[in-house]
Structure 1
Amino acid sequence: MTCRETDQGVSVLPFGASSEGLLQRGDHALFGVSTGNSYFSRRRLADGMAWAVERFAVVDVVHADVALEAMLEALGYERGAARRSVAKQLRGVRRRIDGALEDLGTAAERVRARPLSDFLDQPGYRDVRARTRTALRTDLELRSVRDAMAYQFLAKRLQPGGLPAPAQVQAALAYVDAELPFFVDTPRILGAASSVHCYHTVLPLGRLLFGGRRTGLRPADNQGYAIVACRD
């Protein structure tokens, strides 16, 4: 697979055996936006969406908002302070997403932007989430990678050399677990014919699931992954 760069400075690299074909089909693209990640500037979001609306019939932007309060409380924030801090973070994320949509102009009509929490009670998401929960009980490699991602998320928030407390670990696991279904079967969740999960790097779960593994949990045949990186 070849990395290519658009005139707008967006580099695109399909990752996984079926991802190139799904990218060419252009049914649906999902952009996951991590709260608190400085990569997601207004300009990068706008450039990524502009590339996507030219190639895909539908584009979804989902920003993480699950388990953030629990995480801050586990890190020592009082409940009120945790709520205020999360609200501030989410306002910042939504402001950048809204600004990027404004920059798109009329093309923004084909972009849906929602928090991850909007999906928790939807049948498609619950179905895929049940599958990932079952897999995490039996798929040791999957669980190991999931745990490592959760610890990496925590490590940025702990004192150097500090070990996480059980409540902190549980909150970090809940954060990663909520995102896992979108790596596995976004078409089932959103009712798309196929979907490509777009992120600016290969996350460990993406590397495992789209790296050609023969056993354990694998993505749906119509689920792809692409590294979509934008200059700022």
Structure 2
Amino acid sequence: MNPGVVSRSSDPIVRPYTERCADLLSTGEHALLGISSFNSYYTDERVEQLLSWAFCEFSRVNVLLPGAEASWIPSMRGANPGRARKRARQEVARVRRRVQRTLADLGVDDPDAVTFTWTEMADNAHYDRILEQAWAGYQDNEEFRSACESISTRVLQTNFGEANPDPWTRESLIGYLLAELPFLVDTPRILGVPNSVFCYHRESPMVELLSRSSFSPRISADQGHIVISIEDEPVVPAPRAAAEAVREGFAVR
């Protein structure tokens, strides 16, 4: 808990992936909020609600923004590689300013220390090790590569209605999926926290893939995942009661 942070909004809807995720959520140790660029879901109001909830529920919070690989999105909109990279940098910078402004408004002492992109973690040994494992799996394991390409196709179809980008765009999207992967696998080792819950507003197909397979890298026992959203949906058990709700047989949706 962060008693100095002002809570201004009602709690979001929270759904842990598994009972283990619910247990990690209930500890309140650390939350990593993934916030996308080029995503209209993240309005000022939603960003404020998500951050306010996180800082009231967890002892420590960080915000993960996309890195350079976000250039696949403007590339799909017709930008050439150079222009796509520039637009991605501009958009990530814009989202960072929004997040840091909200953090300051909520009373967080050092907003800049809370927020980072995965590109900025390039010197982190644990991040680099997991990323190398992910790329090795993609290059050497046909099943893993096929699964990643299937996920990328699903992402393209969902967001753009087609799945036949040029090779540079496809490579950037695969890079995007793999660059985020270390934080889905072992944020505790990367950031030096006892345990962590990765929070995003929709289910991650990469988490599903890593959870049901024998691919390396494997998800750490101290790494949890939740879907957290702000929608007009039925009320769910409060985050602190999530683990108890699962044990009592209630669905956390």
What range describes the TM-score normalised by the shorter chain of this pair? 0.7 to 0.9
Partner of 2:28: 26
Q: For this pair of structures, how many residues does the alignment match?
A: 223
Alpha-carbon deviation of 1:24? Answer: 1.2
2:208 is the counterpart of 1:207: yes
Partner of 2:185: 184
Q: Specify whether residues 96 and 149 from structure 1 end up closer, same or farther in structure 2 by C-alpha distance, changes over 3 A only.
A: farther
Equivalent pair of 1:75/1:168 in contact (CA under 8 Å): no
SS, match of residue 68 in structure 2: coil
Letter in 1 for 2:221: D
Post-superposition CA distance 1:155-190 (Å, at most 9, x none): 4676x6562222221111111111111111111111
Letter in 2 for 1:204: P
Q: CA–CA distance in 2 between the matches of 1:202 and 1:221? A: 19
SS, match of residue 197 in structure 1: strand
Q: CA–CA distance in 2 between the matches of 1:103 and 1:147? A: 41
Alpha-carbon deviation of 1:58? Answer: 0.8
Q: Specify whether residues 162 and 175 from structure 1 end up closer, same or farther in structure 2 by C-alpha distance, changes over 3 A only.
A: closer
Equivalent pair of 2:153/2:163 in contact (CA under 8 Å): no
Q: CA–CA distance in 2 between the matches of 1:70 and 1:110? A: 26
Letter in 1 for 2:215: G
Q: Structure 1: which 5+ residue stretches go unaligned?
A: 1-6
* TM-score, with structure 2 as normaliser: 0.76
Q: CA–CA distance in 1 between the matches of 2:64 and 2:91? A: 15
Equivalent pair of 2:36/2:66 in contact (CA under 8 Å): yes
Equivalent pair of 2:187/2:223 in contact (CA under 8 Å): yes
Letter in 2 for 1:116: W
SS, match of residue 106 in structure 2: helix
Equivalent pair of 1:154/1:168 in contact (CA under 8 Å): no
5 Å-filtered alignment, 1:134-213, equals: 134-137=136-139, 141-155=143-157, 161=162, 163-210=164-211, 213=212
2:209 is the counterpart of 1:227: no
Q: CA–CA distance in 2 between the matches of 1:101 and 1:133? A: 34
* TM-score, with structure 1 as normaliser: 0.82
Q: Structure 2: which 5+ residue stretches go unaligned?
A: 1-8, 233-253
Higher strand share: 1
Equivalent pair of 2:24/2:196 in contact (CA under 8 Å): yes
Alpha-carbon deviation of 1:19? Answer: 0.5
Equivalent pair of 1:74/1:167 in contact (CA under 8 Å): no
Q: CA–CA distance in 1 between the matches of 2:154 and 2:98? A: 25
Q: CA–CA distance in 2 between the matches of 1:93 and 1:73? A: 19
Partner of 1:115: 117
Q: CA–CA distance in 1 between the matches of 2:159 and 2:27? A: 40
Equivalent pair of 1:187/1:195 in contact (CA under 8 Å): yes
Q: CA–CA distance in 2 between the matches of 1:188 and 1:34? A: 23
Q: CA–CA distance in 1 between the matches of 2:124 and 2:110? A: 24
Q: Specify whether residues 70 and 205 from structure 1 end up closer, same or farther in structure 2 by C-alpha distance, changes over 3 A only.
A: closer
Partner of 2:38: 36
Percent identity over paired residues: 30
Q: CA–CA distance in 2 between the matches of 1:187 and 1:32? A: 15
